[in-house]
Amino acid sequence: MEGKFMSEILKVLSGIRATGRLHFGNFLGAVQNFVKYQKDGNICLYFIADWHTLTTLENPEELRTNLTEIVKDYLAAGLDPDKSIIYAQSSIPEISELCLYLSMLQPLGELQTIPTYKELVRKFPNRVTLGLLTYPVLMAADILGPKATLVPVGEDQVPNVELARDLAKRFNNRYGKTFPIPEMMQDMVRIPGLDGEKMGKSDADNSIDINASIEEIRRRYLTKGVTDKNRVRASDPGDPYNGCKSVYPIHELVTVEETENRQIAKACQAAAIGCAECKNILVDNIARILEPFQERRRELAEKNEYVREVLREGGKKAHRIISITVSEVREKMGITIY
C-alpha cells in the first residue's frame, strides 16, 4: 500500500476543532473511528485543533472551555491516554513552522478551489482571512508532522486530506523520500442533521449534541427530523434511500439489523411503518450507543485537572515525534538554526 512505505504499523492521526460541543456527526464520523484504531501495534495521535478553531471562533473563553470539554468527550468515548496521544495542536509550535515550509510548495490557486473554503466564503463573506485560506496547509502540517499513514475523518475532509497527500508527494519529489502518503478510510460517512444537510457544530438547529438527554434527542427527531416529503399519509409508501433525508441514513449506521436485512427500509417502502415509529426506533438505537458514553462523560465532568494532565503528557509525547520530522524538513530545505 502506497501510504505505508515507511512501516507496516499504522500511524493514525485526526483532530477536531474546538468550535463547540461535539455532535453525533463528529461521534460517528470521527471519534468512533479514533477508538476503533486504538489498538496494539498502532500509534494514534488525536488532537484538538485549537489553531484551526481561530478561523471561525473569536471568544477566547469559549475556545478554552470547548477544548477541555472535547477532551472529556474523547475520554468518555473510549480513548485511553496510555494508548493514544491526546494533545492540543497549539502545544506543538513546530506544526506552524512546518505549515510555513509546506506553504512554499503549495500553489495558491488550488487553495481557492477547496469546497470547504468556498462554502465558508459563501456563508461568511466578511470573514475571509489568510488563515481561512491556508487552513488546508496547516491541516497538512498536522498530518505530515507525525508522518501519519492513516487519517480517519468524515467525508467532508476528503479534499483537505487529498491536499496533504499532494504536498507529501511534492515534498518527496523535491527533497527526497520523507513523508509516507497518508491514506483515508474506505468507509467514510457524512451524517445528515435534522434538516437533511450535513450535521455541523455551527448549526445548532440541525445538530444532535451527544451530551443531550435521550428524551431531548427523541423530541428533536420527532419534531424536526426531515423524512420523505412525498410521503404525505402514513399509508403512502416511503422512499428510505433517496427520499428520507435525516432518519434512514442514520439507521444504516446505528441499527444493526438494517445492514443485514433492510427490515426498516422494506417496512417503509410497504408503508408498514410510519415516520414517527421509525424515528423512535432510531432514537432507541442511538441511545444504545450514547447512554454508556454519557455515563462515563458524567464521571469526567469535574475532572478538569486530570484533563489538563492528559493534555500536558500528550503534548510532550506529540512534541517528541513531530519535532524530529521538523528537524529533518529544515535540514532537507537548507534551514539551519544558529
d(C-alpha 27, C-alpha 34), whole Å: 10
Residue 197 as a binder of ligand AMP (CB under 6 A): the answer is: no
Q: How far is the CB of 301 from ligand AMP (least distance, A)?
A: 21
Q: How far is the CB of 266 from ligand AMP (least distance, A)?
A: 26
Q: Which is nearer to ligand AMP, 30 or 282 (CB)?
A: 30
Query: Of 120, 199, 212, 307, which one interacts with ligand AMP (CB under 6 A)?
Result: 199
Region binding ligand AMP by CB under 6 A among candidate stretches 139-147, 187-195, 271-279, 314-322? 187-195
DSSP 143: H
Phi and psi at residue 17, to the nearest 5°: -75, 150
Find out whether 142 and 95 touch, Cβ atoms under 8 Å.
yes
Residue 165 as a binder of ligand AMP (CB under 6 A): the answer is: no
Residue 210 as a binder of ligand AMP (CB under 6 A): the answer is: no
Q: How many CB atoms lie within 10 A of CB 318?
A: 25
Residue 198 as a binder of ligand AMP (CB under 6 A): the answer is: yes
Residues 64 to 93 in contact with ligand AMP, rule: CB under 6 A: none
Region binding ligand AMP by CB under 6 A among candidate stretches 56-64, 199-207, 244-252, 328-336? 199-207
Query: Of 3, 13, 25, 322, which one interacts with ligand AMP (CB under 6 A)?
Result: 25
Q: How far is the CB of 199 from ligand AMP (least distance, A)?
A: 4
Would you mind telling me the total number of residues written for the chain in this entry? 338
Query: Of 10, 26, 91, 247, which one interacts with ligand AMP (CB under 6 A)?
Result: 26
Pick from 143, 166, 172, 167: which is nearest to 47 by CA?
A: 143
Q: How far is the CB of 167 from ligand AMP (least distance, A)?
A: 19
Please measure the distance between the N-terminal and C-terminal CA atoms of the chain and give it in whole angstroms: 39
Find out whether 171 and 157 touch, Cβ atoms under 8 Å.
no
Residue 17 as a binder of ligand AMP (CB under 6 A): the answer is: yes
Find out whether 79 and 86 touch, Cβ atoms under 8 Å.
yes
d(C-alpha 192, C-alpha 202), whole Å: 14
Residue 190 as a binder of ligand AMP (CB under 6 A): the answer is: yes
Q: At what angle do helices 115-123 and 135-144 cross, to 10 degrees?
A: 140
Q: Which is nearer to ligand AMP, 95 or 329 (CB)?
A: 95
Residue 16 as a binder of ligand AMP (CB under 6 A): the answer is: yes
Residue 160 as a binder of ligand AMP (CB under 6 A): the answer is: no
Residue 201 as a binder of ligand AMP (CB under 6 A): the answer is: yes
Phi and psi at residue 204, to the nearest 5°: -60, -25
Amino acid at 207: S
Q: Which is nearer to ligand AMP, 64 or 320 (CB)?
A: 64
Q: How far is the CB of 156 from ligand AMP (least distance, A)?
A: 5
**# residues contacting ligand AMP (CB under 6 A):** 18
Cα angle at 138 between 23 and 321, to 5 degrees? Answer: 95
Q: How far is the CB of 19 from ligand AMP (least distance, A)?
A: 6
Q: Where are the alpha helices (DSSP H) in the chain?
A: 24-26, 32-37, 50-53, 60-77, 94-103, 108-112, 115-123, 130-133, 135-144, 158-175, 214-224, 248-254, 256-261, 263-269, 275-300, 304-333
Residue 10 as a binder of ligand AMP (CB under 6 A): the answer is: no
Residue 161 as a binder of ligand AMP (CB under 6 A): the answer is: no
Find out whether 314 and 82 touch, Cβ atoms under 8 Å.
no
Residues 118 to 157 in contact with ligand AMP, rule: CB under 6 A: 153-154, 156-157
DSSP 30: I
Q: Which residues bind ligand AMP (CB under 6 A)?
A: 14, 16-17, 25-26, 29-30, 153-154, 156-157, 189-191, 198-201
